[in-house]
Amino acid sequence: MSSPSPDMPGLPTDEHIFFRSAGSVNPVIDRADGIYCYDITGKRYIDGMGGVGVVSIGHNVPEIREAAVRQMEKVSFAHPFHWKNQPHMELTERIARFAPPGMTKIFMCSGGSEATETALKLVRQYHVERGKPSKYKVVSRWSSFHGNTLGSLSMTGMRSRRELFAPLLKDMPHIAACNCYHCPFGRSYPECGLPCATDLEAMILREGPENIAAFIAEPIVGAAGGALTAPPEYFKIIREICDRHEILMIVDEVITGFGRTGKNFGISHWGVVPDIICTGKGLSSGYSPLGAVIVKEKVFEPFRMGRGFSHGYTFGGNPLSCAVGSAVLKYIEDHRLVERVAQLGQYFFEKAQELYELDMVGDIRGKGFFMGIEFVADKKTRRPFPAGLNVAGRIGDACFTNGLIVGAGKGGIDGVNGDHVNLAPPFISGEEDLDEIIALMRKSILDVRQALTV
Ligand SMILES: Cc1ncc(COP(=O)(O)O)c(C=O)c1O
């Protein structure tokens, strides 16, 4: 059963919505502006999660609206079968300037799952074109999320999202997560020797390098782990292993891309250049569905010489979406928002340290404006709460009631246990906004703590 629509004259019913979660009881949004969303009763919420890690430049920015209208007045749809279009050219130019050196070829799509699905097919065809047709498997990690389509879900390591569809998924190898707070190998950094990274080589040798096309990872894990952040050596070791076995390195920057972590792309914190970057979300700041796969020159080469890429979407390179994406990237550049996130991100994390005073707060991690907070029943032993208590879900709900939107998640430790919330505020947030976010977070944790003890 869906919730009754609030008693507002003229409001449509929600009866015909096939809700993602049964009986959604969410309020109806009316409008959004800057870092705030407002429901139809006028209640204000801080968009502390930028929607779901999407809203980068803030809501209701006039420049984006104007760019969309300008483009609609010219042409909104033109398919690459028949046309090149200028917004597509302009946006890909901008993305190439934004991307790490040498990553100059951009395949446009409409979202994150389309981007990772595209990468999966791209690495497969890349190896076929190079005369290595047995290479098709993509190694990924447990506690990861790469999307909900079947290819991207096959690479995903998030148990709760995979379970129901397991019979439909391809058998892709998964290695352990990089989770220093709950090391899957029971070790401690830095003495550990990073088995979470070297395990990739063991997996490759087990599966046979001749069968492995690529490795995929999020630079900072999003929904599946609460901003799990690898130590400095991690991605260098991964890069070397990939190179040794002719395996392409894909990073999934659907959340971490376009400035969210205080660098253009998250992977740059590790001083590594991947072969392929998958992006989405912040690329358009949510003003239009948009995703992109950014590819190194050398990966594009076999496609240039051969039959082209045997893949594509109706809305890939859509003029309207590309015009919106271009306007968003221009806004990020003009307002130096990546530099701003780098600077204020430090403040955000300093401020968040005060949450450690609360007995449930076990770990705070991430970079820039992407933060994960993990809750534990026992700080000393890092013991999680029983999964059935749904602690993160309750904290997420308390935040919402208190006027703060966050991303609550569970299962980050082993697929079942572990409670975290993610924060990903818009890049335009100032110190006072960040203070308010942390204050509301504290209040919400205390609200739940109280409810748990009665
Ligand atoms: C890291 C990552 N990859 C892929 C996706 C899938 O993106 P979309 O929901 O736009 O298909 C998400 C979405 O949350 C994500 O966080």
Ligand 1 atom having least distance to the Cα of 116: 4
Q: Is the CB of 252 under 6 A from ligand 1?
A: yes
Q: Tell me, in angstroms, the distance from the centre of ligand 1 to residue 131's CA.
A: 32
Contacts of 310 (CB under 8 A, 6+ apart): 121, 125
**Cα–Cα distance for residue pair 78/182, rounded to 1 Å:** 49
Per-10-residue mean pLDDT of the chain, 454 residues long, equals 54 91 87 98 98 98 98 97 97 98 98 98 98 98 98 97 97 97 97 98 98 98 97 98 98 98 98 98 98 97 91 97 98 98 98 98 98 97 97 98 98 96 98 98 97 81
Is 36 inside any structural domain?
yes
Q: Which amino acid is residue 419, in one-letter code? A: D
CATH code of the domain in which 53 resides: 3.90.1150.10
Element (H, E) at 66: helix 62-74
Is 301 inside any structural domain?
yes
**Cα–Cα distance for residue pair 393/64, rounded to 1 Å:** 34
CATH code of the domain in which 221 resides: 3.40.640.10
**Same domain (yes/no): 343, 240:** no
Q: Is 317 helix (H, G, I), strand (E, B) or coil?
A: coil
**Same domain (yes/no): 148, 52:** no
Mutate to test the pocket of ligand 1, among 148, 260, 281 (most ligand atoms within 8 A of CB): 281
**Same domain (yes/no): 401, 353:** yes
Is 34 inside any structural domain?
yes
Nearest-CA residue for atom 7 of ligand 1: 112
**Same domain (yes/no): 312, 348:** no
3-state secondary structure 383-422: ECCCHHHCHHHHHHHHHHHCCECCEEEECCCCCCCCEEEE
End position of a domain, from candidates 315, 334, 353: 334
Please name every residue paired with 248 in a beta bridge, in sequence order, or none if there are none.
214
**Same domain (yes/no): 305, 230:** yes
Is 6 inside any structural domain?
no
Q: What is the DSSP letter of 163?
A: G
**Same domain (yes/no): 420, 309:** no
Q: Tell me, in angstroms, the distance from the centre of ligand 1 to residue 244's CA.
A: 29
Q: What is the DSSP letter of 122?
A: H
How much is the pLDDT for 1?
A: 35
The pTM of this model reads: 0.97
Whether the CB-CB separation of 379 and 359 falls below 8 Å is answered with yes
Whether the CB-CB separation of 251 and 274 falls below 8 Å is answered with yes
- Omega cis (within 30) before 190: yes
How much is the pLDDT for 20?
A: 87
How much is the pLDDT for 22?
A: 73
Q: Is 244 helix (H, G, I), strand (E, B) or coil?
A: helix
**Cα–Cα distance for residue pair 72/68, rounded to 1 Å:** 6
Mutate to test the pocket of ligand 1, among 117, 120, 254 (most ligand atoms within 8 A of CB): 254
**Same domain (yes/no): 407, 299:** no
Is 355 inside any structural domain?
yes
Q: Is 231 helix (H, G, I), strand (E, B) or coil?
A: coil
End position of a domain, from candidates 310, 334, 358: 334
* Residue 252 backbone phi and psi in degrees, to 5: -95, 100
Q: Tell me, in angstroms, the distance from the centre of ligand 1 to residue 374's CA.
A: 21
Is 257 inside any structural domain?
yes
**Same domain (yes/no): 239, 352:** no
Is 185 inside any structural domain?
yes
Domains held by the chain: number: 2
Q: Tell me, in angstroms, the distance from the centre of ligand 1 to residue 99's CA.
A: 19
**Same domain (yes/no): 296, 353:** no
Ligand 1 atom having least distance to the Cα of 256: 1
Q: Tell me, in angstroms, the distance from the centre of ligand 1 to residue 222's CA.
A: 9
Q: Tell me, in angstroms, the distance from the centre of ligand 1 to residue 147's CA.
A: 5
CA gyration radius for the chain?
22
Residue span of the structural domain in which 448 resides: 29-57+336-453
Strands 407-410 and 276-279: unpaired
**Cα–Cα distance for residue pair 200/214, rounded to 1 Å:** 11
**Cα–Cα distance for residue pair 428/335, rounded to 1 Å:** 9
